[in-house]
Each structure stands twice: as structure tokens, then as C-alpha cells.
Structure 1
Amino acid sequence: MWSEEILAGRPAWRHVASGVVFRQVPGGTFHMGLSEAELAAVRAIERSGGVEDTLAPFFAEAGNAQPVREVSVEPFLMARHPLTVAQVQHWLPEYEDDYADAESGPARLEDDLDDLFAALPFRLPSEAEWEYAARAGTSTLTFRGNGKPGEDQLLDDFGDEQRTAAAENAFGLAAMGSANELCADVWIPGFVDAPTDARPRTGAGPRVVRGGAADVYPWQSCDEWLLLLAVTRYEQAQFTAVRPVAPLPAR
């Protein structure tokens, strides 16, 4: 089912049947949620004149990503990037995408989501796993630091290996935050009483989505960069990308 290789100088696991490349995310603990330091970093960007619109809605909704808590995460495999149109077609041969410009772009799924989940031999990441993977050992706004992220950090096509490799974080995961990626958790505002062992929160209703800055490209100067932050979360409302996870292969 799996083949091990080196890709862009890092170990990788390739799902043989589909060709989807996964990276091993090491286990560990991290502080999940929007910290006071991150809030201060956003305010510093605002004070510097680096915003195009008011950030009042962001600050008003800050509680949706709080309180900060320590979460323990077990090692797992995560797809190097969201499933592309071509990769989804491995499981759904009739799949057509109305949003992607190329088969090497991330698939944006709506009506086909349930069919994909039924066919996919993987699962969605929990919200804690997604944020842990996006942070990749950092505690800043993005894995690149506390500076304002720009459109140069977007990646919406994985056909160019050099560009994909350049977009990887320390865990070897590319374009975290570019596409709006679906998590396993049901949407619940805030993290009060959330588990500390990276389990997803279950229940009825829409799921949590993370990322999505490339889905609103070209940016219209509405501070779309906030969608690249590791902590930005919202409830699913329309099409979404899928970046699956899997258990570590047996050796």
C-alpha cells in the first residue's frame, strides 16, 4: 500500500495506488489557539498601516479560537498538500471540478464530498492535528513568523515541484492555509472543554474549515491574509478542499 522515498530532501510515504504523497508528522505537544502574543502581532500589523480594512471583525471573533490550551498529538501521516483534481479522480473517475484551473490544482468539493469519503481509505484530520501540522513547531501567526503574510505565500497548483517544495513548512507540508481545508470536527465556537489529546469534537452540524486564502484570489484588499494564519477557523459553508491523514505504516 505504501512506498517510502525521499522527496525534496525529506522522507515521504507514497500511497501506491493513488500516488498521493504523505509526510510523517511527529508527535508532540503544542499550545492550540489564538494566543495573546499572536493578538499583539496582529495589532502591530494594524498599527503599522499594513491592513486594508478594519480588523474589528477579527478581534470580535477572537474568542472562536480561544482559550489557548496544551494539546498532545500522536504521530500520524498527512498529505503533503490537499488532494488535487487528478487525485480525487482516482477514487471518483467521473469527478469534474468547476473551480480548479488544472488537474494539478486542489479539488474543491461540494456535492461529491460524501462519495469521496465513502471511497477514500483515509480520514480527515482533527482540528488539533491540522493546527499542529500548520504550526510545525512554531507559535507565530504562520510558520514563517509574525509578519503579515502576502499573496506570494499562496500556492494553488502543485504541478511545479520546485514551487511546491518552496511552500513546505518544517514538517514538509506545502501550502497550509492556501485552500480551505475541511477538518473532522463539528463547528463549535471556541475551545472551552475541548479535548487535550487531539480527538475531533463530534456532533451534528457543519464541520470546521481551516485556511482558504487562495480561494479568494485575486485578493480584493479585504485582509484576506488572515486566512493564512494558523489559528483562523470557521464553519463550512460551501466547497472545500481535503487534505487526508492516515496512521503511520507498519514497518
Structure 2
Amino acid sequence: MWNKTLIAGRPAWAHVPSGVIFREVPGGTFRMGMSEAEVEAVRAIERAGGAEDDLDPFFEWTADAQPVREVRVEPFLIARHPLTVEQVRHWLPDYQDDYADADSGTARFEDGADELLEVLPFRLPSEAEWEYAARAGTATLTFRGDGKPGEDQVLHDFGDEKLTTAAENAFGLAAMGSAAELCADVWIPGFKGAPADARPRVGDGPRVVRGGAADVHPWQGCDEWTLLLSAARYEYGEFAAIRPVAALPSAG
């Protein structure tokens, strides 16, 4: 079922039946959430004239990504990029997508992607796993640092040409923060009482979504770049993408 290979010069695991490429994420401990240093970095962008709009709603939102806490994450596999339309059709042959421009584009689901999740042999990442993977060992606004992300960092589809030129983070993951990606956690504002071992928070209600900058592209000058931030989180709304997670393949 699995084939270890090299993709863009880095080790990867290919899920043979579907062709989905996974990267291995090492275990470790990280500080999860929007730190005061990150909030100050956004204020610095605003002071430098890098904000197109009033960022007061953003600063009010930061409470939903606090308090920052230490979380332990075990090793896991995560897809190099969100599932494409073509990949989804491996499990749902009749799948149609009104949002993607090509079969290599990100598949976006309305109503929580329940039909796919019922047949997918993988699971959704927990919020902690997603953010840990997005940060890839960094503690800045994005894995690239505390500078303002640009529109050139947003990807709509994942054809070979785009992926060979797309910047990956240190874990070899592309487009983290680009599409709105569904997590396993139920939406709960803030991290008070959240587990410290990367388990998802479960219950009734909508799930958490991470990312989403490509879903509002072309940008309209409303500070859509904030959706690319590693700590950005919000309640599931109209549609979302799936970046699946799997256990490490057994030895042999």
C-alpha cells in the first residue's frame, strides 16, 4: 500500500492506490497558539503601513488562539498538500467540484465532507498536528518568518510545475495556510483546558478550519494574508479542503 520515495528531493511516502503523497512529520514539543510576539509582529506590519484595512477585528480574534501552551505531538504522516479533485475521485468517482479550475486543483467540500470521510482510509489532523506541521519548528507568523505574506505564496492547484517552484516548509509540506483545511477538532474559542498531547477536542458543532488565503483569491485588499498565519483558526463555514493524516507505515 505504501511506497517510500523521493519527491522534490525529500523523502516521502506514496499511497500507491490513490497516488497521494505524504510526508513524515517527526514528533516533538511546540508552543501552540498566537503568541504575544506574533501579535506584536502583526502590529509592526500595521505600523509600517502593510495593512490594507483596520486590523482591530484581527486583534480581537487572537483571543480565540490563546492562551499559548506547550503541546506534545507524536510522529505521523500528513499529505504534502490538500487532496486534489483527481485524488478525491479515487474514492468518490462521481465527485464534482464547482470551485476548482482543474483536476489538479484543491478539492473543496461543502457540508463538512462527510461522504468522503466515510470512505477515506485516513483521518483528519487534529488542530495541534496541523499547526505543528505548519510551523515546522518555527515560532513566527509563518514558517518564512514574521514578514507579511504575499499573494505569490498562495497556490490554487498542485500540478508538477507549480509544486516544483512552490516553497515547502522544513517538513516538506506545500501550501500550509493556502486552502481552508478541515481539522478533527470541534470549534471551541480559545485553548483554555485543551489537551497537551495533540488529541482533538470533540463534541457537537462545527469543526475548526485552518488556513484559507487561496479561497478568497484574488485578494481584495482586506488583509487576507492573515489567513496564512500558522496560528490562524476559525469556525467551519461554507467549504473546506482535506489534508489527510495517517499513521507511520509499519516496518517491513
User: What TM bracket, shorter-length normalisation?
Assistant: over 0.9
Quote the residue 2:98 is aligned against. Answer: 98
Alpha-carbon offset, residue 112 of structure 1: 7.5
The 10-residue stretch of structure 1 (10-19 or 156-165) with the greater mean CA deviation from structure 2: 156-165
Q: Distance in 1 between matches of 2:215 and 2:167?
A: 17
Q: Distance in 1 between matches of 2:194 and 2:91?
A: 33
Q: Distance in 1 between matches of 2:231 and 2:147?
A: 15
User: Is the Cα–Cα contact under 8 Å of residues 131 and 231 in structure 2 kept in the other structure?
Assistant: yes
Quote the residue 1:23 is aligned against. Answer: 23
Q: Distance in 2 between matches of 1:4 and 1:165?
A: 22
Q: Distance in 2 between matches of 1:91 and 1:129?
A: 24
Where in structure 1 do 4 or more consecutive aligned residues deviate above 3 Å? 161-165
Q: Is 1:169 matched with 2:181?
A: no
Alpha-carbon offset, residue 234 of structure 1: 0.3
Q: Distance in 1 between matches of 2:93 and 2:250?
A: 29
Structure 2, unaligned runs of 5 or more = none
Quote the residue 2:13 is aligned against. Answer: 13
User: Is the Cα–Cα contact under 8 Å of residues 112 and 240 in structure 2 kept in the other structure?
Assistant: no
Q: Distance in 1 between matches of 2:31 and 2:226?
A: 19
Alpha-carbon offset, residue 167 of structure 1: 2.5
For residue 171 of structure 2, give the secondary structure of its aligned residue in structure 1.
coil
TM-score normalized with structure 2 length: 0.98
- Give the letter for the 2:131 counterpart: E
User: Is the Cα–Cα contact under 8 Å of residues 52 and 221 in structure 1 kept in the other structure?
Assistant: yes
Alpha-carbon offset, residue 96 of structure 1: 0.2
Quote the residue 1:237 is aligned against. Answer: 237
Deviations along 1:113-137, one digit per CA (max 9) or x if unpaired, are 1110111000000000000000000
Q: Distance in 1 between matches of 2:124 and 2:164?
A: 22
Deviations along 1:17-49, one digit per CA (max 9) or x if unpaired, are 000000000000000000011011000000000
User: Is the Cα–Cα contact under 8 Å of residues 155 and 164 in structure 1 kept in the other structure?
Assistant: no
For residue 44 of structure 2, give the secondary structure of its aligned residue in structure 1.
helix
Structure 1, unaligned runs of 5 or more = none
Quote the residue 1:36 is aligned against. Answer: 36
User: Is the Cα–Cα contact under 8 Å of residues 185 and 200 in structure 1 kept in the other structure?
Assistant: yes
TM-score normalized with structure 1 length: 0.98
Quote the residue 1:69 is aligned against. Answer: 69
Q: Percent identity?
A: 75
Pairing 1:1-251 to 2, within 5 Å after superposition: 1-111=1-111, 113-161=113-161, 163-164=163-164, 166-251=166-251
Deviations along 1:60-95, one digit per CA (max 9) or x if unpaired, are 111100000000000000000000000000000000
Deviations along 1:214-238, one digit per CA (max 9) or x if unpaired, are 0000000000000000011000011
Alpha-carbon offset, residue 160 of structure 1: 2.7
Gap change, CA 1:206 and 1:164, over 3 Å in 2: farther
Q: CA RMSD in A?
A: 1.0
